[in-house]
Amino acid sequence: MFEHFFQCPYCWEEISMLLDTSVANQTYVEDCEVCCNPIELTVWFEEQELQGFQAVSLEQ
């Protein structure tokens, strides 16, 4: 598991999430731990190294 810090696209608070490095490409929805709004996360790893991370609101 890999801990990654980022800003919530709704409340702009810095939050952290544990990411599973064993899955190369991931897209899923997780609620912000501060404001509880849903965030769509897109994450990709190469050889278990984080290559990209995107967190967007579902209201776009």
User: The pTM is what?
Assistant: 0.83
Q: Positive or negative, the Cα torsion across 20, 25, 28, 31?
A: positive
Say if residues 15 and 42 touch (Cβ distance below 8 Å). Answer: no
Please give the share of the chain, as a percent, with pLDDT higher than 90: 90
How do residues 15-31 score in pLDDT, each as one tens digit?
Answer: 999 999 999 999 999 99
Q: How confident is the model at residue 60 (pLDDT cuts 50, 70, 90)?
A: low
